[in-house]
Amino acid sequence: MSESRWTYYDPTQGTQTLGLYHGQDSGNVVIYHNHIVVMVDFMVHQSKSYSFMFNQNLVKLKLLKENGKYDYKFERTRIKEEVVSTSEKVMSFLRRSFCF
């Protein structure tokens, strides 16, 4: 069984851990975030990728199989969301539409 674990820092939530267990014979995959199981996938014997959103982070795990050997990759992208309420959007539209 292979295990990979990655730790990253999230400014809003602090240190985060993402881990993956992979039973290479059974193909069973368990993915966890801060010791909480978020996904179980069975009979994974080929390359596969998984994507998750945690807070404002897009996390991608890649299970790669080449020449009968497995490799595990981790990518994280911080997503900045601009939160604008519906009323603010409507007021902005009205201001532009009716100004002469």
Phi/psi of residue 12, nearest 5 degrees:
-90, -25
CA distance 58 to 77: 5
Average pLDDT over residues 73-88: 73
Average per-residue pLDDT for the chain: 85
Residue from 73, 70, 56 nearest 9 by CA: 56
Alpha-carbon Rg for the chain in angstroms: 20
- How much is the pTM? 0.73
Which ranges in the chain belong to alpha helices (H)? 86-97
Instruction: Pick 20 or 55 by higher pLDDT.
Output: 20
Cα–chain center distance at 86:
28
Whether the Cβ atoms of residue 64 and residue 47 lie closer than 8 Å to each other: yes
The answer, yes or no, to whether residue 93 has pLDDT greater than 70, is no
Residue 11: what pLDDT? 84
The answer, yes or no, to whether residue 88 has pLDDT greater than 90, is no
CATH code: domain of residue 50? 2.40.128
Residue from 15, 80, 20 nearest 50 by CA: 20
Domain extent at residue 13: 2-97
Residue 57: what pLDDT? 85
Q: How many domains does the chain have?
A: 1
Average pLDDT over residues 13-42: 94
